Every structure is written in structure tokens, then in C-alpha cells.
């Protein structure tokens, strides 16, 4: 029976974890890291469950000591903590933790993750009497030619599929103009990831073109799947990143009737846009990036002249305040990076919010707003290409920054990061798909109501129980999300706020009658 140390200063948490493991493992409940090290002098643990927020010695310090101890450094450590913070999670994984679980935990999932790590840590020369037992993630399933495997807009799926044998057609049946009829998929390809990992209804339909054999991967087994199939997991991540870029460009193109293409002029156009908005700090940043990255462009002299003209309006020397080597604070409305520039950093949001947008035809379209716990800037690193959107601090923003070299190492060594990125990309693609369908609504007020409805879906607000709701966006942000011009958007906002179920609370849009709002939203959706 394997020995597990549980380290937590909270008696309730300690006993909850111990009760979950008793009878399966030999457990020791320890109220501090100091007690853990004292016991480790006498008893060698096979695995340690370690809390982070503890007095005297926190989990990170304990981890540092563990990894410097030749006797204990190979013991797998799982952080079991109440801290739901991607920066803390990333820091823990970088220190060498094998997993990071946020309390309150699911007993079956906790046991399964412990089992996986104990199996992984066994010596390779195990005796024949004690073979490691692989965990069966799923059993292959068969579909005959012509069968529908998943159906658009039906139930919320709990699994996605990888094709083992045969061919599958993947397409969108309804109102989203993708520019092509269908994707033809074969062995090694995957489908259904977007809806399964985002936790929303299917956005695509899949039909068997031949008899097919599929491997279903359940969402709750995804972390285990990654550890056993790292190459496939990376393929899924790369595929989602490509689809995200495509849908971003498609959304901007449909909104402004022109497809956005990355070119040398993107940086120049972004800089000109911010200059026209008198956001000179951001304009100067973009012009400098343009001069650095495009020295032979035909607009280079114009850019240098613009830099001289607007430099007198810029007081601060840097865009951000450096808190530590990897942590920065960006003031509100500060440009973090702009579309078209090279991407060599990924950002983990510790606090605050950031808006992701594109500039097309001298207008800005807001793609999404991200908050604490989110990651952004990852697509340029995954695909090794330029940024395809800009990031601006929506309010004061504190981020943890990871360089491209460190990111590549994390992707290779930390499967949980792949899981996190896969889930985030799936959610963002689902949102963009909804925004593209929003364009099919003819009534401008209807589009605003539908866009607000999408925000509620994103946040998983229970519209059957909530009676009122205040959004974290105002009229200007809502107009940018849809891509309205100031005149068109201003008229629509006035009409929206005259609706008896809508209101404006401290410059934020609010719903004061959820039942009426939902009824109108469903009406406009059915009108597409």
C-alpha cells in the first residue's frame, strides 16, 4: 500500500482529504510543512498532497526544499489548494509539481490523479508480480456509413472523438458562413473538441462518410489522455489555434465586409487608428513596432514622421510597471501588444481585465474581454506567427509573463498547461461562432440583445433563476463587440435602453427583467 502525506493547516480540509484516501492508501495528515519534513526523516512518502496557503512555511517554500533534498526530490507532489489562480498554478508546475488540484475536489478525480502519478513514478524494472495497470480512458466505438455522430445545437457533450479508421465530414448546417462546405477528416483527426471542452452545445455536425472507428475521449479523462498521448494533444492544441485565427479573421471580415489579412500594413494601420483616437501612448508603441519590424516598407518614412509628431504628447517611457522578473502591471487603456507584431510572450491574468480586438477599415471590433484566470497571447507562440489581434488593458491589469522559450518547455513537460489552453481556446472559438451568427440578425437592437445573451451564456448565468443582472461592459464596448459605427451604434443603444427590461447602472448595461429579456433574445435568435 502506497504512503501519502497530506499537508494542510486547515483541520477540516485535512480530514476531508484523509477520509477520501483512507483504506486505499496509507495516509498521514500533517498540519504543517515543518511536521511533514520531520516525519519524512522516519517515513518515506510515495506521494505528497501539499497545500499552498499555510503559516510559517507555505507550499511553494516547502516545494523548494523538497526539490533540493536528494532523498525527497523524486517524490511526486500534487498541490491541493484553495488558490484558483493560473499564475500560482503555473508557478507550482514550474517548481516541479506533477499536478495542481483546486479545492473543493471531486473524490473520484483526486483518487484517479493520485493513481496516475503513483503509476508514473514506479521504477521501470517492476517485477512481473506487480505490473502497472493502465487506466482505460475509453473504448472505441463504431459508426456505419451515413450515420450522424454529433448534431449541431443539440446537447452539451461530455466527450470528443479521435478518428481511428474511416472518414468523417464535419460541417456547420445553419447560419455561420464558413466559406467552405465541410472539412473532410481521416485517421488521426479529431472533432467535437470545441463544444466538449467549452461545456456548451455542439456548434458542428459530424457525419460518417464511410464506416468509421472512433476513440471517444471523455472530458474528465482529458488530463490523463494528454499524459499518454502528448503528440495528439499538441495536434489538438495547434488545430484549435488555427481555427481560432480563422474565425477571428472571418468575424472581422463579415463585420466590416472585408477579410482582414495580416501584412506589413497591419502595424501601421493599428498605429494610425490609435493616433486618430488620440491614444498617443498606444499609437507610439505601434509605430515603433512597425519601424522595427518593417524597415523596408513603403510607409516607413510616414511612420517616422508620425513618431516625431506624437512623441511630444507621450510622457511615460514604458507601457507597464515591472513588479518582479515575470510580473507586470499595465495601466487602464494601455496597449499590451498589437496585431501584426511578432509574439514572443504569453500572459496569465492575475487581476484586472483585458480586451482583445482587431482594427479593420479604421474601425475596431472587440473580439472578447478576458479576466482573472484567463490566458492570452498564446496563439502566436503555438503557431509561431505574428499576433493576429491586439490586447489592451480594459482596467488596471496585473499579469504573469512567460517567454516563448519557457513556454515551449512548459508545453513539453507540463501536460496540465495543454489542458488549460485547450479548454480556453475551445471556449473562445465557441464565443466567436456565436458572434458570427449574431451578424445574421437584421435588427440592430436585436443584435445588441443577442450579444448580451451571449455574454450571459459565456458566464453560465442561470437565466431561469436570476431576475436582474449588471454586465461589466458599457454601451461603447457593446457597440465595439458588434462592430457598429458610432452613429449606427448610438441610435441602437438609445432604442435598447428604452426597452422596459433594460437599464444603465453606473455606466454599465443592466437587465432589470430577466424573463422579458430572455423572451426577446429568443425571438431575435429565431428570426435569423
pLDDT score of 257 more than 60: no
Q: What is the pLDDT of residues 147-177, one digit of tens each?
A: 989 888 767 788 999 999 999 998 876 555 5
DSSP symbols for 319-362: SSEE-SSSEEEE-TT-EEE-TTSB--EEEEEEES-EEEEEEETT
Position 127 pLDDT exceeds 50? no
Three cell numbers, residue 151: 448534431
Closest among 439, 399, 357 to 174, alpha carbons compared: 439
pLDDT at position 516 is 94
Per residue in 217-249, pLDDT (tens digit) is: 988 888 888 877 878 888 888 888 888 877 777
For 3-50, how does the pLDDT look when each residue is reduced to its tens digit (9 = 90+)?
999 999 988 888 888 888 988 999 999 999 989 988 988 888 999 999
Name 267's Cβ contacts closer than 8 Å, sequence gap at least 6: 286, 289, 290, 293, 294, 338, 339, 340, 341
| C-alpha grid cell, residue 327 | 510580473
Cα angle for residues 222, 228, 231 (degrees, 5° grid): 90
What is the pLDDT at residue 174? Answer: 59
For residue 73, the Cα-to-chain-centroid distance in whole angstroms is 31
Q: How wide is the angle at C-alpha 353 spanned by C-alphas 195 and 337, nearest 5°?
A: 90
- Give the list of residues 6+ apart from residue 338 with CB closer than 8 angstroms, or none: 267, 270, 271, 282, 285, 286, 289, 387, 390, 391
pLDDT of 125 reads: 39
Q: Quick check: helix, strand or coil at residue 28?
A: strand
User: What is the pLDDT confidence band of residue 498, given thresholds at 50, 70 and 90?
Assistant: very high
The x, y and z cell numbers of residue 427, run together, are 471556449
- Among 63-72, 254-263, 272-281, 319-328, the least confident range: 254-263
pTM reported for the whole predicted model: 0.60
Q: What would the grid cell of residue 527 be? A: 428570426
Query: What local confidence, expressed as pLDDT, does residue 131 receive?
Result: 32
Instruction: Specify the pLDDT at position 88.
Output: 82
**pLDDT attached to residue 254:** 67
What pLDDT does 483 receive? 80
Q: What's the sign of the alpha-carbon dihedral 457, 463, 466, 472? A: positive
The terminus-to-terminus CA distance of the chain in angstroms comes to 61
List, in order of start, the domains of the chain with CATH numbers.
3-120 (3.40.50.2300), 141-228 (2.60.120.10), 255-427 (2.60.120.10), 441-526 (1.10.10.10)
Instruction: Map residue 256 onto helix, strand or coil.
Output: coil
pLDDT over 50 at 133, yes or no: no
pLDDT tens digits along 315-348: 766 688 989 888 999 999 999 999 888 888 889 9
Place 475 in a pLDDT band, splitting at 50, 70 and 90.
very high
**Cell representation of residue 69:** 533534498
Strand duo 345-351 + 321-322: pairing: unpaired
Mean pLDDT, the chain, integer: 84
CA nearest neighbour of 241 among 53, 50, 376? 376
Amino acid at each position: 500500500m502506497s504512503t501519502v502525506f497530506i499537508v494542510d493547516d486547515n483541520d477540516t480540509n485535512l480530514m476531508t482529504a484523509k477520509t477520501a484516501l483512507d483504506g486505499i492508501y496509507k495516509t498521514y495528515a500533517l498540519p504543517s510543512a515543518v511536521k511533514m519534513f520531520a516525519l519524512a526523516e522516519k517515513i518515506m512518502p510515495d506521494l505528497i498532497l501539499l497545500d499552498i496557503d499555510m503559516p510559517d512555511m507555505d507550499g511553494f517554500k516547502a516545494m523548494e526544499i523538497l526539490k533540493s533534498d536528494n532523498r525527497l526530490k523524486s517524490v511526486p507532489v500534487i498541490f491541493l489548494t484553495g488558490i484558483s489562480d493560473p499564475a500560482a498554478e503555473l508557478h507550482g508546475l514550474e517548481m516541479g509539481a506533477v499536478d495542481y488540484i483546486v479545492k473543493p475536489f471531486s473524490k473520484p478525480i483526486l483518487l484517479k490523479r493520485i493513481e496516475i502519478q503513483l503509476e508514473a513514478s514506479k521504477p521501470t524494472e517492476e517485477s512481473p508480480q506487480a505490473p502497472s495497470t493502465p487506466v482505460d480512458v475509453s473504448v472505441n466505438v463504431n459508426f456505419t456509413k451515413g450515420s450522424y455522430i454529433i448534431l449541431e445545437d443539440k446537447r452539451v457533450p461530455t466527450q470528443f472523438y479521435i478518428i481511428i479508421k474511416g472518414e468523417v465530414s464535419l460541417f456547420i448546417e445553419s447560419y455561420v458562413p464558413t466559406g467552405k462546405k465541410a472539412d473532410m477528416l481521416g485517421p488521426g483527426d479529431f472533432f467535437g473538441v470545441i463544444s466538449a471542452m467549452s461545456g456548451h452545445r455542439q456548434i458542428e455536425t459530424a457525419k460518417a462518410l464511410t464506416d468509421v472507428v472512433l476513440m471517444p475521449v471523455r472530458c474528465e479523462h482529458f488530463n490523463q489522455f494528454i499524459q499518454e498521448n502528448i503528440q495528439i494533444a499538441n495536434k489538438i492544441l495547434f488545430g484549435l489555434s488555427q481555427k481560432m485565427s480563422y474565425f477571428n479573421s472571418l468575424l472581422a471580415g463579415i463585420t466590416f465586409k472585408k477579410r482582414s489579412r495580416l501584412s506589413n500594413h497591419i502595424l501601421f494601420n493599428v498605429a494610425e487608428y490609435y493616433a486618430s483616437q488620440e491614444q498617443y501612448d498606444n499609437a507610439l508603441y505601434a509605430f515603433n513596432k512597425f519601424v522595427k519590424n518593417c524597415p523596408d516598407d513603403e510607409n516607413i518614412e510616414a511612420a517616422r514622421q508620425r513618431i516625431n509628431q506624437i512623441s511630444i504628447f507621450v510622457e511615460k517611457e514604458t507601457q507597464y510597471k515591472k513588479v518582479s522578473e515575470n510580473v507586470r502591471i499595465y495601466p487602464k487603456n494601455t496597449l499590451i501588444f498589437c496585431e501584426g507584431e511578432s509574439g514572443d510572450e504569453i500572459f496569465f491574468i492575475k487581476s484586472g481585465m483585458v480586451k482583445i480586438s482587431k482594427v479593420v477599415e479604421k474601425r475596431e471590433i472587440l473580439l472578447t474581454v478576458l479576466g482573472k484566470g484567463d490566458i492570452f497571447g498564446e496563439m502566436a507562440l503555438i503557431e509561431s506567427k505574428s499576433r493576429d489581434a491586439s490586447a489592451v488593458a480594459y482596467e488596471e491589469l496585473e499579469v504573469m509573463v512567460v517567454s516563448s522559450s519557457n513556454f515551449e518547455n512548459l508545453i513539453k513537460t507540463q501536460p496540465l498547461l495543454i489542458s488549460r489552453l485547450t479548454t480556453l481556446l475551445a471556449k473562445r472559438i465557441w464565443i466567436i461562432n456565436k458572434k458570427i451568427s449574431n451578424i445574421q440578425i437584421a435588427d440592430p437592437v436585436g443584435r445588441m440583445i443577442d450579444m448580451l445573451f451571449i455574454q450571459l451564456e459565456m458566464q453560465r448565468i442561470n437565466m431561469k433563476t436570476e431576475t436582474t443582472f449588471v454586465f461589466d461592459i458599457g454601451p461603447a464596448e457593446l457597440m465595439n463587440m458588434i462592430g457598429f459605427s458610432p452613429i449606427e451604434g448610438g441610435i441602437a443603444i438609445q432604442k435598447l435602453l428604452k426597452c422596459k427590461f433594460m437599464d444603465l447602472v453606473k455606466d454599465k448595461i443592466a437587465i432589470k427583467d430577466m424573463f422579458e429579456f430572455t423572451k426577446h433574445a429568443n425571438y431575435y435568435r429565431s428570426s435569423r
